[in-house]
Amino acid sequence: MSEPTPEALFGAFIERIEALDLDGACALVTDDVEYDNVPIGKSFGPDGIKAVLGPMLGPIEEVRFEVLRQVAVGPLVMNERVDRFRAGERWLELPVAGVFEVTGGKISLWRDFFDMRSFEEQLQGLFG
């Protein structure tokens, strides 16, 4: 069986995050994956992803990643998207530019660029 394309792998990864299946999403990354939320910093490995996303997703009831534009070249997938997180009746909507790299059929780099101030203000409004 052949490996999925980087674009298909990214799609499967995002579907699992949208299903709030962090363990399933992390099954699609390398053991040493670099997860870089540029304004926040880097973490490494599936446990690093879980340490960052786990507390945030805990109170979240729904996640949607709307990809607006995407390009895939070789092992790279780059996209412009809006990441949406719902808690109760409120939504946090964050414009994001993302870079993903695939090595050996798994995601080895996940780097997101977003405006930290907008994120913090919306996060406070979501839970505050």
Whole-angstrom Cα distance, residue 41 to residue 39?
6
To the query of whether residue 112 is one of the catalytic residues in this protein, the response is yes
Catalytic residue among 31, 47, 112, 115: 112
To the query of whether residue 83 is one of the catalytic residues in this protein, the response is yes
Whole-angstrom Cα distance, residue 127 to residue 92?
10
Catalytic residue among 21, 31, 36, 83: 83
Nearest of 39, 50, 14 to residue 118 by alpha carbon: 39
Nearest of 92, 114, 110 to residue 102 by alpha carbon: 110
Active-site residue set: 83, 112
